[in-house]
Structure 1
Amino acid sequence: MISVKKVLNSSVVLVEKDSQEYIVLGHGIGYGRKVGQTISDDEIDEIFIPVDKYKSAQFLNLINEISVDYFDMTKDIVMLAEDRLSVKLNTTIYLTLADHLSFATERQKKGLIFTNRLQWELETYYENEFKVGKDALDLLSDKYQYTFPDEEAANIAFHIINAQDELSDETNGFKKAKLVSSIINLVKYASMCELNTASIHYNRFLIHVRYFADRFFSNLLIDEADGLYKQMWHLYPIEMGIALRIAEYIMQTYQIKVPESEIAYLGVHINRLIQYSSNGTKKGEILEE
């Protein structure tokens, strides 16, 4: 049996099954539900995301910032990808891809174009994933009445590729975790501020750092000549200095050079993180990736 632990809204519920907590997403899933109520397995046909019970509150807050429409669309994309590719995707894609779709739509509304220099590689070497990305763009365009560039198909394909990682790959997971921890510590000490690890802004930053680690260990770092690097140095030299220290650490540790575009994106996310005080009050903001 499944027990309801918290109802965030009519579309997001935290449940427990066999001592494991899950976030359940779907239109109407929380309607009329109460804490402690049990739900039979045959009642559930929604998105299940396993979460660490000590971090479930942060994940629920993060999910609450993203419209459930993007999770529904992600569910459709995942079903399409799993059917076309004959694979089972990691459930973390429901968070990372939904967050990306939300940002991509917002970006399109504002007329902001981000190039993807890996588009040719993804289209050539991950042809099937790219085709799924193209079909996903059609869903996004139909829903929001925007015309999205093919670069977004490549971005979606990249999320699908990342989600094909085996959950049992402990060695790869350890390497990613070590890199993420090192980046977080560098930001913490270089910024000379106490990071509020319980805040939604910290958790959004953490997700983006994990995304960077995925790209790094997949040899898919982004290398774009779009002028963002120079612009970020002009506007946010402190944050870019921290990002550069991260790149230098990676060079010393892994003997791999981090492209300027990746340094700029790290600067963007570092800026957003430290623009909030420890109590979550916004001091300033720039557009995030």
Structure 2
Amino acid sequence: MKIKKPLNANAILVVDEDKSEFILFGKGIGFGKKVGDAVDSDNVNQTFIPLKNSDLKEYLTILESIPAELLELSRLVIIEAEERLNCNLNPSIYFMLSDHLNFAIERFKSNINVTNRVFWEIKNFYPQEFNIGLYALKLIKKEFGLVLPEEEAANVAFHIINAQSSAEMKADGMNYAKLIASVNSIIRYSINTDFDNSSVHYQRFITHLKFFAERFFNDKMLDDSNQLFEQIVQLYPRATEISFLIKDHLELVYSKKITKEEIAYLAIHINRLLSSEEISKNS
């Protein structure tokens, strides 16, 4: 594997014996390097990103506009995210996150504030990803001496959420957060109470909603089960009524049908949540 083009001190464009191209990230790997130099592919402190020809020009343009220190910082954030979440993120995040952080720093220096409209939802529904965002802000403070607003942690989390999805099940973190928030609002208004966001029961419910959102947006709704639906209607009438309010709202907003089995499972989880809240109030 040889260097095709040094990009900066922490990134180089390389090509292997099959003429496949990669972007290689790593602290100092581009320092003093030139075209044709051999690359040690076994170095564990490097990150290889395979490239498609259609992506090459766009990604090179992004990389050439980003300081080497910020590229390395982004790489450390991504490595931390993969360790905490125990998953491999979509390689495109190396470019998207670096580009976003570069722009965020430019905005901060220019006193330009951009409101994140789903800050609360991301902070509460995706706490792991949000904490990774806080980790990124900590590194930025250490490296550049800048204290970015906490909203930027949610923006970083948004990129992490999207990068967790496979090509077949591509997530849209913004849509997920909005759907979960709307479902929460419907339930809160229906029972006229707030939930303890830190409770195990609430977190379990949010986990169910995340899976529901993934199935909903990727057209993977659970198959209709009339038997389960009829049982749940009889067992949990209050929760079923709320589930139908959610169904009507989502079908109106997204023009997507929700199956009876999904309504039944929503009712089951809503009933568990309501029961846990009633127990907490009476204890």
TM-score (norm. length: structure 1): 0.56
**Cα 1:108/1:95, change in 2 over 3 Å:** same
User: In the alignment, does 2:6 pair up with 1:3?
Assistant: no
CA displacement at 1:102 relative to structure 2: 0.8
| Partner residue, 1:146 | 146
* Preserved CA contact (<8 Å) 1:129 1:160: yes
| Partner residue, 1:14 | 13
Q: Distance in 2 between matches of 1:146 and 1:10?
A: 22
| Partner residue, 2:99 | 99
CA displacement at 1:155 relative to structure 2: 0.5
Q: Distance in 2 between matches of 1:55 and 1:155?
A: 23
Q: Deviations over 1:239-268 (max 9, x none)?
A: xxxxxxxxxxxxxxx9868xxxxxxxxxxx
* Preserved CA contact (<8 Å) 2:118 2:174: no
Question: How many pairs align?
Answer: 183
* Preserved CA contact (<8 Å) 1:74 1:94: yes
CA displacement at 1:62 relative to structure 2: 2.1
Q: Distance in 2 between matches of 1:144 and 1:32?
A: 24
| Partner residue, 1:65 | 65
Q: Deviations over 1:100-121 (max 9, x none)?
A: 1111111111111111120111
What pairs with 1:236-251 in structure 2 (closer than 5 Å)?
Answer: none
What is the DSSP-based 3-state SS (H/G/I as helix, E as strand, rest coil) of the residue aligned with 1:38? Answer: coil
Q: Deviations over 1:117-157 (max 9, x none)?
A: 20111111111111111122111122222222211111011
CA displacement at 1:27 relative to structure 2: 3.7
**Cα 1:256/1:4, change in 2 over 3 Å:** farther
* Preserved CA contact (<8 Å) 2:21 2:51: yes
Query: What amino acid sits opposite 2:30 in the alignment?
Result: G
| Partner residue, 2:220 | none
Q: Distance in 2 between matches of 1:29 and 1:41?
A: 11
- Could you say what the CA RMSD is over the residues aligned between the two structures, in angstroms? 2.8
**Cα 1:82/1:107, change in 2 over 3 Å:** same
Query: What amino acid sits opposite 2:95 in the alignment?
Result: L
Q: Distance in 2 between matches of 1:217 and 1:57?
A: 29
- Of stretches 134-143 and 37-46 in structure 1, the one that deviates more from structure 2 is 37-46
Q: Distance in 1 between matches of 2:145 and 2:8?
A: 27
Q: Distance in 1 between matches of 2:33 and 2:44?
A: 13
Query: What amino acid sits opposite 1:42 in the alignment?
Result: D
What pairs with 1:174-189 in structure 2 (closer than 5 Å)?
Answer: none
Q: Which runs of 5+ in 2 are unaligned?
A: 180-250, 255-283
Q: Distance in 1 between matches of 2:116 and 2:61?
A: 30
User: In the alignment, does 2:38 pair up with 1:38?
Assistant: yes
What is the DSSP-based 3-state SS (H/G/I as helix, E as strand, rest coil) of the residue aligned with 1:100? Answer: helix
CA displacement at 1:37 relative to structure 2: 3.5
Q: Which runs of 5+ in 1 are unaligned?
A: 174-212, 222-253, 258-289
* Preserved CA contact (<8 Å) 1:25 1:47: yes
What is the DSSP-based 3-state SS (H/G/I as helix, E as strand, rest coil) of the residue aligned with 1:42? Answer: coil
Q: Distance in 1 between matches of 2:82 and 2:26?
A: 19
Question: Quick check: which has more Rg, 1 or 2?
Answer: 2
Q: Deviations over 1:37-93 (max 9, x none)?
A: 332322463232221135424422321111111111111111211111111111111
User: In the alignment, does 2:116 pair up with 1:116?
Assistant: yes
What is the DSSP-based 3-state SS (H/G/I as helix, E as strand, rest coil) of the residue aligned with 1:62? Answer: helix
User: In the alignment, does 2:23 pair up with 1:23?
Assistant: yes
What is the DSSP-based 3-state SS (H/G/I as helix, E as strand, rest coil) of the residue aligned with 1:39? Answer: coil
Q: Distance in 2 between matches of 1:10 and 1:74?
A: 14
* Preserved CA contact (<8 Å) 1:26 1:68: no
**Cα 1:141/1:9, change in 2 over 3 Å:** closer
Q: Distance in 1 between matches of 2:82 and 2:118?
A: 23
**Cα 1:59/1:255, change in 2 over 3 Å:** farther
Q: Distance in 1 between matches of 2:95 and 2:252?
A: 31
Query: What amino acid sits opposite 2:133 in the alignment?
Result: G
